[in-house]
Amino acid sequence: MYLLSLSVGGWILFMQTLFLRFVKHAWFTSHPGAMFYALAVYIAITAVFHRILIVNEHDQKIFNRFSSAWNNNLNKKRDLFLALSIAAAPYVLLIAIKIFFPRD
């Protein structure tokens, strides 16, 4: 659940960065302001996923539905690599934006 929250939070922050950088041509004015916003996004996403998955116990329903399919899957390594790539992609892209499109 927490890895899913980090992935979704990363994608939200990446989309916000694209909007701020390339549409509004702006940036956060301070590092503490940017950090506060990022923490607020992560906390909100984690609270939503905690409510959906843990409190409502949808994680057990999902696990029971897909556990046998995962055990019979011949492409486990490929699927795991794709899932981790999708989860890590926004952070790699954020670093690329920072390197290739600096503020000044």
How high is the mean pLDDT in each 10-residue block of the chain (104 residues)?
84 90 81 87 90 82 78 83 92 92 76
Give residue 88's pLDDT: 94
C-alpha to C-alpha distance for 1 and 24, rounded to whole angstroms: 33
Task: Please give the tally of structural domains in the chain.
Answer: 1
Give residue 61's pLDDT: 81
- Evaluate whether 94 touches 13 at the Cβ level (below 8 Å): yes
What domain range is 24 assigned to?
A: 2-100
C-alpha to C-alpha distance for 81 and 73, rounded to whole angstroms: 14
